[in-house]
Structures are given as structure tokens and as C-alpha cells.
A = this chain, B = another copy of it.
Amino acid sequence: MGGRRDPLEWDEVSCEHVITDEWIDFRRSSYRFPDGTVYEPFYTYSRKDFVVVAATDEEGRYICVRQFRQGIGKVTTEFPAGGIEKKDGSDILEAAKRELLEETGYVSDDWRHILTIPENATLADNYAYIFVAESCRRVSDQSLDDTEFLNVVLHTPEEIKCLIDGGDFMQAIHALAFYLSGK
């Protein structure tokens, strides 16, 4: 029945949902290894999938946002990004367009999906949908949620490289998006 089992797979033996709310499902589990031994604890979580937009304006400058990130407790420079509710392909592109517009006031007629990759394959089961949007133009002001405080900044590709190398562009998936966007 179904595909052949990979001999490297583990089996989850038990799972305790430590926190389950609208933001996260955080679990503590035990697993049976390929040699039959059972080991714990392993922590995993589920969160919303999200979009990341590597957007450039008509002069090829990346449209970035500066905002506080509570994980590292610092203000970062990164690309526009945001959580999505549904897994349907067209909805995801719409979510990407909406995030870019709301966070920066920019729109584009030239969108490409370039990669879907887990947020963190070791710990989580949600995915990042990476898009490229080129020749963006500013059509409005920002339209931010109550929990968003972010500034728009424009950077040339060379500046993004320096920010990454200098440790000032700190979202790994966004740095990957930059290199995939081929600038």
C-alpha cells in the first residue's frame, strides 16, 4: 500500500500538545528510531505558512522593511513577508501581492513564484512561499496591522550583499530569496 517506506524514517510514539492556540501548536513527542529504540523529548511546532517577497523597483533596488523581531530581540532589515491562511496556489500569490502592498505601498505586474521551502525542517511543518516581483511602483502609503511597526527602505543588490555578510540581514529564508532572485 502506498510508497515504499524509507529505512531512515522514525515513528512518532507519543505526542503531547503543550500549547495549542491560533498562533502555534507546540508539541513534545517521543519517536522510535530505525533501530527500534524510543527516545524523547523532541519538540516540534505548527505555525501558518507564509510568503516572502523579493521585490525590486524600476531601478532594480530591493524594497525592504525594517522591523523588530522578538526572536533575536533586534530590529532587522528584511523583505516584506506575512502569514497566509490557505494552501491554494492562487490565494498564495494574492497573499504575496497583499503583503507587498500593505507593508510597502508598492505593486508589480511581474510576479514569479521561485521556491517553496520549510521554515525549519527540523522543528516545524510550515512552509515559506518565495516570490520575486520586479519593476514595482509605489501607488499608496503603507496600510499596517495594529501589531506592525515597520519602515520601508530601498537597497541595491550590492547593499543587500553587504547587509547579509555584515550580519544585518538576519532572516535566513529572505537571504536565500535574495540569492535565488538572481540579482
Task: State the interface size on chain A (CB cutoff 8 A).
Answer: 64
The yes or no answer to A146 lying at the interface (CB within 8 A) is yes
* Nearest residue, chain B, Cβ from A170: B121
The yes or no answer to A154 lying at the interface (CB within 8 A) is no
**Interface segment, one of A24-32, A56-64, A88-96, A135-143:** A24-32
A34 to B28, CA, bound (A): 34
From residue A92, how far is it (CB to closest CB) to chain B in Å?
A: 15
The reply to whether A42 and B70 form a contact with Cβ atoms under 8 Å apart is yes
Q: Which residue of the partner chain, among B72, B76, B176, contacts A172 with CB atoms under 8 Å?
A: B176
The reply to whether A70 and B44 form a contact with Cβ atoms under 8 Å apart is yes
The yes or no answer to A66 lying at the interface (CB within 8 A) is yes
The reply to whether A37 and B146 form a contact with Cβ atoms under 8 Å apart is yes
Tally of this chain's copies: 2
Known: A24-B43, A28-B19. A172 touches B73 (CB 8 A): no
A120 to B173, CA, bound (A): 9
* Nearest residue, chain B, Cβ from A74: B121
Contacts of A120 in B (CB 8 A): 71, 119-120, 172
The reply to whether A23 and B37 form a contact with Cβ atoms under 8 Å apart is no
A78 to B29, CA, bound (A): 23
Contacts of A121 in B (CB 8 A): 69, 71-72, 74, 76, 78, 170-172
